[in-house]
Each structure stands twice: as structure tokens, then as C-alpha cells.
Amino acid sequence: MDTSDVEDLITKLIEDNPGYDNLIFQVTSLVTTYPPPFLYINDPTTPRIASSVLRALLLGCSKLPLSASPQIRFAHVNAVACFTARLFYDTVLNAMARWTMKWEDGCENWSDQGSGQRWNESIDGFLHGLKAIYGAMGEVTSQKVKGKGKEKETEDGNVHWGGDFRMVLVVEKAERLKETLPDLMVPLTRLAELTQTQITVIFISSVRWQDIKPPFGASPGPYQIDICPPNKEATLSRLTQLFERESRSVTDIDPYHPALLPLYHHFCSILHSICSPFTHDPYELAYISAARWPGFVKPILDDHQHQIDLRRQQPDESEMDVEDHNFELQLAPPPEDTRMRLTRFFTPSFPAALEALYPRLTNAYSWARENAPESGLLALPPARASPIKTKPIAGVSNGQDVITSDVLPQMSKFILVAAFLASTNPAKTDLRMFGRGLDERKKKRRKGGGPRKGSGKNTVAKVPQRLLGPAPFPLDRLIAILGVLLEENDVDSRQIPPQFTIPGEYTDMEIGRVQVYAAIIELTQNRLLHRTTQPDRLEGPPMFKCGVSYDVVLALARDVGVPLNDLMWDPA
Amino acid sequence: MSSIPAFDDTTQSVIYIPYQGLQKNDSDGVEYDLSPSESYRPFQERDIPNGYELRMKVYRAAWTKCLDRVQAIIRDLHEPVVDAVIRHVHNAYKDILPGLPYCEMPVISVTAGPSLLHEITTRLDPDNDGSEDSSMEASPPSSSHPDTFVTHLFPADRPNIMACMKSLVGGFVDRSPDGLEQPKRKPSTSLAPYDIELLEAWYDAVRRAHEPGTPPQLVVLLHDFEQFDPVVIQDLFYICSLHVPSLPLIFILSLSSPPTPSPSYLHLTYPRATLALLRVENFAVPSGPGVLDDILTKTMFDVGFEQDIVIGPTVIDSLSDFFTRHNSSLDALITILHLAHLKHFDDPLTVFVHDDGNLSSLLLQPTSFPFLDHLLTRISAPPASSSVAPSPTHSTAWLNQSVPFLLASIDEARTGFRTKMRKTKVALGLMKRVKEFMLRQGWRSADERSQVELMFEALKGRLGRDGRYLGTMVKKLPAAKLRSVLEDMHTFFQNMPSHVRRDEEPARTKIVAWISELASESESSRSGFVVQLAGMVGGWLTNYFQDNLTSLEECRLWDIWYTGNTPFPSEMINPNIRASIVSGLLHPLDYVNLDDVRQQQPELWELPDTSILFKRYLDSGKMINVYDWFESFAVVLESQKRHRKRSKLNGNNSKTISRKGKGKQRQVDDVMDEDEGENEEDEKWKMEVQARFMRSLHELDYLGFIKHTGRKADHVLRTVFDIAD
């Protein structure tokens, strides 16, 4: 890691972080020479990686010898983590001063020579703190220089020791500063001016400077660096790096054995070609790869293990031979035909992995465990080895519907169906849809599924509500539709007390029960319904929106015996 | 009023106002301070003195027994889930998939109630068992080195990220890392208490204290996760993920929603950017009808457990209906069982549920005679459905019965009931066993009744047909299968607790004999002997079921131990809100005096003010003129005043009348009979009428019966129509 030259450092950093050449080159050159006081790095796709690159960069710079660059101290803070000004000041000052907190000392912050001075009260204290650190740095540097007896001499212990040491403050997720610490935005961008020190502030953000810039030109314009989304080569080499990082610790037979690297290259290019239309983030690709790769190479590893076991079992061979064979049996990259078979076998599972893992419907660990291929795959004839596992994909969609209907009580299912109908049907159609009996509805229901054409030819065809997302509806409407559903589909399963003689009277009782309201609240808490009005608003009925999809509702409706499509104004 | 509940506290979802009785009103001279036990005395005419308290004592014992049983079953159900969670917590930072681009933060989402969480906490952190009580979190430091440190976050008091971080960090660092004295932190010059760096420093100390062993893990339990503000939690997760894995944080989320409706709560609420930081693992306790089956079978029909009160079929029916239709939570189940127990102890006779020797002296007191009378009638009456003719001495037998004799016969009835119940349990168990065996043999059955329904039928004594059918099926079995069914039955009896097994000795010996007889027969033969034997077994089974699966109501004094067909008050736990309010307004007196059932409708003037106003409301049109409404109200009050005056002149006790009014009316009643100062009185009366009108109007307004439009002066809109009286 120790590099003695800026050039070396840049080369090494570019090697480690493919795709970030521009950033590394610019920032390193600037920081080690004469940086502008305020830099703004905009990385719209992968700010997390940019931030880690910058951290490595500054760490490298700060370790450079004095012959190559001025002494550099830096603080890397996260605007989300520093949600109060005090937290921000503490974090920055402690990092700048390279101060480690000790639990035994009561986690004291850095203070100037143990004076116990407090820097975190206000921006003013913070500026003084920075100055104090800058001053201390000057003293340390001058002493060091003196001790080493270099030719560069100083007149006295002057604090302003020229341009040979600087501070760098990196703020990650800078867009959050606007919300959490709006008062700090302007001072931060003018920090060099305010402290009269050599300090550079770098903001990293996924939004552009124009969007978070304080009004009235209060901040000076930054030196802006834009980062392009990583291209294919950069992404692939980043994936390869992860592989190499893992294979460094590998000694045994393992998916990350160095011999498998060529196969991994191949694997990654397939992965990239399948997933790149959906995500460019190398981390996401690496996540999917981490889940799929162990299953992908498992047949090869199994085969290899099998070979070794076979050799061990052969008794007639001498000791020497066994050793010889072990030597022969080094894990080797698979031949071309095996690679082709594996590719054909596993390619369909890549989109499945993307579908399940990109939205994190499951985590990589469980996905890898569930989707591991059965052993002896390579021994199977190609026709018998089914290319895709149907089980996990079915588990994503169908399985969940079944579980939903199992978990919810009967009434909650009815409420969700009613909520879906209230959210998709226009309110003015309610009387037509629900106002008459079951048989009539079948007769008079609108023919066909398409939207009714307007009278004039030039009217724009209306987009069905189903595609527009759920519309809000008042609680009363939900209860009324629930009443109709219960009256038509649930009456038979109830024992109606004898005092209720009018048809529908008992349903009226049912829909007003405490548990119905409790169920609505519970569903709202579980986000299966969304409440669109504030809970503390008393006037007017509360409004809700349906929070479950058509497929789920269809399964629920089937479960409780509601003909959902007959009740929808615009059936699918 | 000792303590005023904090009504303004918006973080409380429920406020409990204990009933403390009405305050004594001196001017009235009427004692209103009735404790609940005095105001509610059902069947007082045939109760013993102090009967309520005695029954409550018995009830408490019976209910505790039942509750303990249910909770033990629930604990058994939870056990595997708890184990899985604990295992997962311990391996959270060990089982990591290689090749991940960054370290994910382990998050465990648990769908469960507080009892499960409590169990998880006690298992994870046995030293610091302050799971529900946040004040306990700062309890004295544990001397040993725990594997995990647990802290709790509750949604109510964590409105922003600062408070959230503060309690997260504080929950850990308040405990000393090495069991020594905590170093003093200066509030101004040290790290802020909500700074995660503080936790880092603390954890460093912990790691040093644990050397050379493995350092502990930090578990954060988020209770009622749905109630947390997603924005806050998003930041919380982000901040914590920056410090993983140097801080081995593990989050346990307690969700009330099931994890699997696609997509789950987490996926619906949190953005992908947050989810990408986490490794979410879902755990859910079993729920749904299966759990209901399990719990009811094990509390009601387990031969190893003898409950005090047997729940009747109607309660089971309401329970399963409520559970499947409205609320499938275990709390609801327990509440219903609780209510059924409580209601059962209304009957004075239930004081005999347990064998209590101290009752005889109480029964000899003169005040207990109505009770004794009733008891004697019940005991001497022939059992309702018995076919045995009463003995010739029956008509005179009661003459020589004494209290000890009565008690002895109750004891006898108790033993009889218990035996009968045990036999029913055994028979139902045997039936299930044989049926399962037959199903295993490929026997097709259209019977899709669940366990609960079977129990329902068994208690109703309606399983006779099933028993006969099973018997017939057994008759047709070949030798090999007959042997295995007999062996199956034998193990069933063998596995029973010893006291039950002793009772079933005849059945067991029969089965053993049959098995030995069969042993000599060859496997596949269906000789005459086997047919004959199968016929015997089948016949025996039919008879056995017939004898033992009969209604429990055939026992003497069954209603002491069995709730039978008494209806379950489901309206009490799941009322219709509007119907209850309207009926409360229409018939207020039915709610006030429970025991005093009136025959005729009360006059309008007898009702409380709000009810009077409401009656007039029902008479009006869509819009109500408030002035007219007031006028009509005043007329009723006028007549009320007249009636009261008259009744007072008649020398009637004012107490009975003033009982019906509301608190405020009472004070004025006394003043009314003054005749002097007519004018001043008149003025005062008018003021009073107006005040009472306003008060009642506002009450109706609060209840939502009035809508103000502002379009027409002095008019309000009705909101409720078509009330069937």
C-alpha cells in the first residue's frame, strides 16, 4: 500500500478502481498540489462506490511522504449519520485530529492539548477547532522536519507554515445536508475562507449541485467532477476483483478457487448481458453473482470431489501413485463442452435471480441455498436435466397468494376485496354494480371489457382505473360495498339470530361491528390498505386506498367465493 | 379519584379508567357508591350470602388452570420458532455468503405477539430480563459475560432519528462492558449520547473485556415495527449499516402482519436502497385454524389434562366462528375462553366446582335456605333424559336429606361427571385413532370436518353414526389389518396416564385377548374365525362409542361443570357500534338497572335528557329546527317536573325517582318543592332547561348524530334515519 510517489499512487488506485480514472486523476492531482476550496462530485448511479474510492484515495494521499506531497489530513463524514450539528462537528474534528475515543476516558472528544475546550457548541467553535487542529498540524510537521534535519528551515514556530499541509473534508450524501443541517451548507462551502486555513471541502452526492445549491449565490461555485456510469469492462473487472479477493483466502476446493477464474469471467459476461438492461450498479451485479455462482460451479466441484474419492478408494495403487494422482487432480478450468452445458443449464435462472434478488424479495444467502442444483448434474443426460427449477419461481408468485389467504381472517379478506373494488370502480357506478341482485347483474352487465367509447370521435380514450393505480375512497363506501359482498356471498355461512327478519338486516349488523373497524385499522397498519387522510383529522370520513394488487385480490376473492370480475366495472 | 388518567397523552392507544363507584352525594342522601360486586348479582334470589366472592375464588382457580394450560400449549408452539431465531442470531455473522460486495446487516422479522418476543429476549439475554420495561434496561450490570446484549426500541417515544439513536446507543452503553464502574462522561466535551461512535468506543471496551473469547453480539429489538416512522427507521438502518460488521448489530423486528402477502410490509414500506443494506430473514409462528384445533384439542380433549370447566358446543362454535371470521389472534382466543369461564360462574351452584369442605357451615345459615331449596330440588329431580324410572321412595326421599348428605351427593356427582368426561375424551381419541388408521389404509371418507367440529359434535352427543360406521368398517378388515388396528388401539391405551388407564382396564384386556387370539392366525387368511373376530371387534367398537360418546348433559348436576348450550355473549366482545349506541339511547333504563326488568315502556319524561332529545330527533324530518327541538324538549321537562312534584307530594321516596335521572338533575330536585320566590324560580328553571338542552345536544353531537351545515340558520341535519324501535 505504501507508495512513495503521486504517480504510483494514481496508477495503483486506477488499477483497484476501474472506471474511476477521471475522478482519481483529478482529485489526487489537486489534493497533492493546490486544491480549490470546494469540490463537488456528482455520481448519479453509484455514489457508494465513488465514496469508497475517495476514501481510499485520501488514505493513500495522507500516507504519502513529505517529499511527494504536503501532509494531508482528512475527515470523511456521512450527512445521514451526522444528523445534528454537534454530531457533525464532533465527527469532523475527531477525524481531523486523528483522535481515538477511549471508553475508559469517558469518550472525551479531541481538545487542544487536553485543555478540555469545547468545540462543538456552534459553527464558531467548530471553526476555531479546525484552526486549532491546523495549528497543531503545523507544529507537528515543523518538529518532524526539524528532527529530520532537512534543509528546509523555518524562522520561528510560526503557525502559517506555507502550503505544505492541508485538510480535506469529505461529505458523503451531501444532498441530505439540505434537510438535516440547512444552516451548515453555506459555511461548509466557504470553510477555507472562514477558517483561513488550507482546507478543501468535497461533497459527494447523487444529485447535481444546481438542485441543492443554497439560494442567492451564498455559496461559491464548486469545482465539479461528474462521474459516468461504469461501462461493461469496468463492471466486469470490479466483479473479478471481488472474486480475487475471495480466492486469496481459499485453500480447499471452493467456488472461489483461483483455477475457476476463467469460468467466472465467462459467467460474469453472461450475467452482465442479462442484467445490464435493469441495473448498472456493480454492487447489485456482484450481489446476484454471489448468489448464483456457488450453484453454477457446484456440478464441477462435485465432479472433482467425486474423482478424488474414486482415486482414494482404489487400493491397488501405491503411496507414490496416490500422491501423484493428487498432484494430477488439481482443480482445473472445465473443458469447453462442460462450460456450454452449464451455461445452457443455468442461463434461465439468471433472470429469476434478478427478479428475486434485485427487489430483495429474498436474500442472497437463502436464494443460493434454495437454488443449489442437485448433485450429479453433469452425469445426467442433457435431456433429463431440466434447465430451470420451477419451484422457486412458483414460490414467488403463487405460493404467496396461498399463504395470504391462510393467514387473514375471513372478514379481512372481504374487506380487502371490497377495498379493491372501491379503489378501481368509479364511485358513480356503484349503484349500477351493487344496487341490484346477483342475477340481474349478470344479465345487464356491460358487454366486453374495453372502455366505453365517448360520443364524439375525437374524445381521448380513457385509461382504465386498474392501470392508473388505486383511487382513494371514503370509509363509508368501503363499508357499503362490504355489506353487498357479505349479503351476496356470506349469508349462508352465518347463523342468523331469529330476531332479524328483514333480509339484509343482519348483514347491516355485521358490517357495523367493532371487529370490522378493528380489521380495517389493522390492515392499514400492515399497509394492505393505505390511509390517505391524517389520523388526527376529525371532520369528514377517513379516506383509504387499496394497497394490494389485482392478483392477490383475485386469489382472495376466489377464496371467499366472490366473482371479482363480475363486480369490476372495467374487468381485466 | 386517586389518579387522573393521562387523556392528553397521544402516545397511549388505550386508557383504562377503573370504576371507582359514584361519589356519595350528601344533599341527596342516596348511597350510590356501589362496588361492582354489589351492583351485579345475578340469581340473587337463590344465592348464598357472600356467594359472589366465593364463586370468584373458585373461578380464579379454574381459570388460572385453564390459562396455564393454554399458555403452555402456546409456548410449545412457539418453541421451534424461538429456537430458530436464537440460532439465527448466533450465526448471523458466521453464515455469510462469500463474494458479497459489502457486508449486509442481519435483520430478523418475526411475526408474533409479545409473549414470543419476551421468550426470545429471555433466551438471548437471561441476565437482563427487562424486556417490556424500558426502565429496567439500565439495570445493574451483569457479572458474567453474556453472548448477546439486547436493547429495546418502542415506537411510541421515538419520533425522530435523534431519540431513536439515543435509545439504541444508550440501551447498550448504559451497561458496563466489563462489569466495572462506568467511567464518567462529561456531557459537553464527550461524544453526544446519540453518537454511534460512542457505541463503537464502548464495544471496543467490551471486546477487550471478552478477550480471548468471542465478543458478544448486539441485538436490537424493535417492538411493533409497523408503528415506527419509516423515514426514521430508514436513517437508522443506514447509519447502523455503516458500522457493520465492526459492530455486530442484529435487528429483530416484531411485525404484526404476516411476512408473506406479496410483497411484505418491509417491501411495501421501505425503498430498495434501504432493503439492499439488509439481509432479511422471516420467521412466523404458526397461525390460523390449525392452531385453534391444536389448542382446543389439547385443553379440552386431552386425557392427561383435566379441566375444571368443560366448554360447551355453543361456546366452541362462537369461538371458532370469531377466530376464523374476525380475529385469528391467540389473544382473542384466550379472551373468549376467559369470558366463557367468567360467565359460567354466574350460577350460584358453581360454587361447588371444586371440593371445598368449608361450605357446610355456611349452608346451615338461615340466609342460605333459598339456595339449599334450589339445590335440593335439583338433586332430587330425576335426571332429565334418564330412562330409569324413579325409585319408589323418591317422593319421600328428600325428607331425610341433610346438608352433609347433600354435599356428599354433590361430590358423587362431581366424580361422576369427571369420569364421564374422561370416558368421552378417551372415546373421541380412540375414534380419531381408528379413523386415522382407516384413512392410512386407503379408506376414502367424505368427512371433512375439522377437529373443532368433531369436538362440537362429540359434546352434542351426535357422533353415534360415525361410531357405527367405523365399527362396520372394522368388521370388514382382513386379519393382517385387523391385527395392526388392534395393536394401534393397544398402544393408544398404553400411552395414557396411569389413572386413566386403570379405568379403561376392561377395554385393554379385551384388546390384548383379541391380539393373542389373532396371533395364531396366518397373515392373509380370511377364515371364519377372523371374520367372527372382526365382527366382535367392530361390534365392541360400536358399543364403546355409543356408550361413551353421549351428551354430557345426562350427568347429574352437569351444569356446575359444563357450560352446555348456554349462548355465548358474542355481542359483548364484538358489538355493532351504531346499534349499541342507538339502543342505549332508546332504552337507557335497561342498561342502568339490570335486575329490575320492566314490563311496560317507561314514559318519555322518565328518561334521561339525552334520550328525550333523541326521541324527539327521531320524530323530526331530515332537517331539524333547533328552536322547535328545544321547545319540545322543554315541554317534556315541564311534565317531568310536574310528575316529580306530584310523586313527592304523595310521599313517595325521592330516592327511587332521582335514581333515574342523571347526576345534575338530582341537585335541582330538592330545590323544586319550594313555592316562594315564584319568579326567581321560574327564571332559574328556564336557565336550567336551556343548560340541560345544550348539554344533551352536545352529547348527541359528539356521538355523531348531528351534522351542521351552516346553510340554514338554526337548523341541523339528521344523520341517522330508519331506526327500528
- Domain coordinates of chain B in residue numbers? 105-180+189-276, 575-718
The answer to whether B102 contacts chain A (CB < 8 Å) is: yes
Specify whether domain A6-226 bears CATH 3.40.50.300.
yes
Please state, in angstroms and rounded to a whole number, the distance separating the CA atoms of residues A226 and A244: 29
Which residues in chain A (518-547) have CB-CB distances under 8 A to chain B? 518-519, 522, 525-528, 547
Give tens-digit pLDDT for B57-107.
Answer: 888 888 999 999 998 988 888 888 889 888 888 888 887 888 788 888 899
pLDDT of the residue at A543: 92
Which residues in chain A (231-260) have CB-CB distances under 8 A to chain B? 242-243, 246, 254-256
Beta-carbon separation of B279 and A365 below 8 A: yes
Which residues in chain B (65-84) have CB-CB distances under 8 A to chain A? none
Q: What is the mean pLDDT of residues B688-698?
A: 93
Average pLDDT of chain B, as a whole number: 77
CA distances in angstroms from B433 to B427, B437, B491, B514, B625, listed in the order given = 10, 6, 10, 18, 72
Q: What is the mean pLDDT of residues A462-477?
A: 83
Phi/psi at A162 (5° precision) = 70, -155
pLDDT of the residue at A391: 43
Percent of chain B with pLDDT over 90: 4
Beta-carbon separation of B280 and A363 below 8 A: yes
Contacts of B76 (CB under 8 A, 6+ apart): none
Banded pLDDT at A315 (limits 50, 70, 90): low
Banded pLDDT at A303 (limits 50, 70, 90): confident
Q: Based on the number of CB atoms within 10 Å of its own CB, is B724 exposed (0-12), middle (13-18) or buried (19 or more)?
A: exposed
Q: What is the mean pLDDT of residues A542-560?
A: 86
Size of interface A-B (CB pairs under 8 A): 206
Who has greater pLDDT, A330 or B671? A330
- With beta carbons under 8 A apart, name residues in chain B contacting A528: 257, 261
pLDDT of the residue at B692: 93
Give tens-digit pLDDT for B219-255.
Answer: 888 888 888 888 888 999 999 988 888 888 999 988 8
Q: Which CATH code for domain B105-180+189-276?
A: 3.40.50
Q: Are B302 and B422 in contact (CB under 8 A)?
A: no
Banded pLDDT at A40 (limits 50, 70, 90): very high
Please state, in angstroms and rounded to a whole number, the distance separating the CA atoms of residues A226 and A234: 17
Q: What is the mean pLDDT of residues A301-318?
A: 75
Please state, in angstroms and rounded to a whole number, the distance separating the CA atoms of residues A409 and B329: 9
Report the residue of chain B nearest A405, measured CA to CA: B261
Name the one residue in this structure whose C-alpha cell is 480466492: A247
Give the DSSP H/E element, type plus range, for residue A451: none
Name the one residue in this structure whose C-alpha cell is 378388515: B477
Please state, in angstroms and rounded to a whole number, the distance separating the CA atoms of residues B657 and B271: 65
Banded pLDDT at A130 (limits 50, 70, 90): confident
Please state, in angstroms and rounded to a whole number, the distance separating the CA atoms of residues A51 and B274: 17
Q: Based on the number of CB atoms within 10 Å of its own CB, is B361 exposed (0-12), middle (13-18) or buried (19 or more)?
A: exposed
Report the residue of chain A nearest B192, measured CA to CA: A87
Q: Minimal Cα–Cα distance from B624 to chain A, Å?
A: 21
Test mutation, A358, A360, A511, chain B, max B CBs within 10 A: A360
Total H helices, total E strands in chain A: 26, 8
Q: Minimal Cα–Cα distance from A222 to chain B, Å?
A: 27
Beta-carbon separation of A513 and B183 below 8 A: no
Beta-carbon separation of A515 and B327 below 8 A: yes
Beta-carbon separation of B279 and A515 below 8 A: no
Which residues in chain A (290-319) have CB-CB distances under 8 A to chain B? 290-291, 293-294
Report the residue of chain A nearest B291, measured CA to CA: A407
Most confidently modeled of A336-340, B570-574, B628-632, B648-652? B628-632
Give tens-digit pLDDT for A401-411.
Answer: 444 446 788 88
Banded pLDDT at B149 (limits 50, 70, 90): confident
The answer to whether B597 contacts chain A (CB < 8 Å) is: no
Q: What is the mean pLDDT of residues A472-491?
A: 88
Q: What is the mean pLDDT of residues A30-47?
A: 87
Residue A456 has pLDDT above 80, yes or no: no
Name the one residue in this structure whose C-alpha cell is 328556564: B686
Q: A401-445+464-567: which CATH number, 1.20.1740, 1.10.3470, 3.40.50, 1.10.10? A: 1.10.10
Test mutation, B275, B326, B336, chain A, max A CBs within 10 A: B326
Give tens-digit pLDDT for B273-294.
Answer: 888 888 888 888 777 777 888 8
Closest CA to B97 of A420, A148, A288: A288
Pairing label, strands B278-284, B105-111: parallel
The answer to whether A398 contacts chain B (CB < 8 Å) is: no
Give tens-digit pLDDT for A385-434.
Answer: 554 444 443 334 433 444 444 678 888 889 999 999 999 888 888 888 88
pLDDT of the residue at A498: 73
Banded pLDDT at A18 (limits 50, 70, 90): confident
- With beta carbons under 8 A apart, name residues in chain A contacting B199: none
The answer to whether B25 contacts chain A (CB < 8 Å) is: no
Beta-carbon separation of B238 and A105 below 8 A: no
Alpha helices in B276-352, H assignment, sequence order: 289-300, 313-325, 330-344
Q: Minimal Cα–Cα distance from A105 to chain B, Å?
A: 7
Q: Where in chain A is CATH 1.10.10? A: 401-445+464-567
Residue A359 has pLDDT above 70, yes or no: yes
Q: Where in chain A is CATH 3.40.50.300? A: 6-226
The answer to whether A489 contacts chain B (CB < 8 Å) is: no
Q: In what order do the strands lie in the sheet with B706-708?
A: B623-625, B715-718, B706-708
Grid cell at residue B452: 373443532
Who has greater pLDDT, A48 or A447? A48
- With beta carbons under 8 A apart, name residues in chain A contacting B165: 83
Of A104, A246, A400, the CB nearest to B183: A104
Percent of chain B with pLDDT over 70: 78
Residue A207 has pLDDT above 80, yes or no: yes
Test mutation, A485, A527, A549, chain B, max B CBs within 10 A: A527
Q: What is the mean pLDDT of residues B700-712?
A: 85
CA distances in angstroms from B208 to B201, B205, B215, B432, B452, listed in the order given = 11, 5, 8, 60, 57
Give tens-digit pLDDT for A60-113.
Answer: 888 877 777 778 888 999 888 888 888 898 888 888 888 887 777 777 777 776
Rg (CA), chain A: 34
Beta-carbon separation of B265 and A514 below 8 A: no
Who has greater pLDDT, A246 or B131? A246
pLDDT of the residue at B690: 93
The answer to whether A105 contacts chain B (CB < 8 Å) is: yes
Beta-carbon separation of B99 and A243 below 8 A: yes
pLDDT of the residue at A22: 87
Average pLDDT of chain A, as a whole number: 78
Q: What is the mean pLDDT of residues A472-484?
A: 91
pLDDT of the residue at B190: 77
The answer to whether A365 contacts chain B (CB < 8 Å) is: yes
- With beta carbons under 8 A apart, name residues in chain B contacting A81: 196, 238-239, 242
Who has greater pLDDT, A468 or A417? A417
Give the pTM.
0.77
The answer to whether B186 contacts chain A (CB < 8 Å) is: yes
Beta-carbon separation of A101 and B197 below 8 A: yes
The answer to whether A282 contacts chain B (CB < 8 Å) is: yes
The answer to whether A17 contacts chain B (CB < 8 Å) is: no
Please state, in angstroms and rounded to a whole number, the distance separating the CA atoms of residues B649 and B643: 10
Residue A131 has pLDDT above 60, yes or no: yes
Q: Minimal Cα–Cα distance from A475 to chain B, Å?
A: 15
Ramachandran assignment for A196, one of left (phi > 0), alpha (psi -120 to 50 degrees), beta (any other): left
pLDDT of the residue at B193: 83
- With beta carbons under 8 A apart, name residues in chain B contacting A104: 183, 205
ipTM of this complex > 0.85?
no
Give tens-digit pLDDT for B353-388.
Answer: 877 767 777 777 777 777 877 777 777 765 544 444
**Residue A22: half-sphere exposure toward Cβ, Cα within 13 Å:** 13
First to last CA, chain A: 62
The answer to whether A97 contacts chain B (CB < 8 Å) is: no
Residue A565 has pLDDT above 80, yes or no: yes
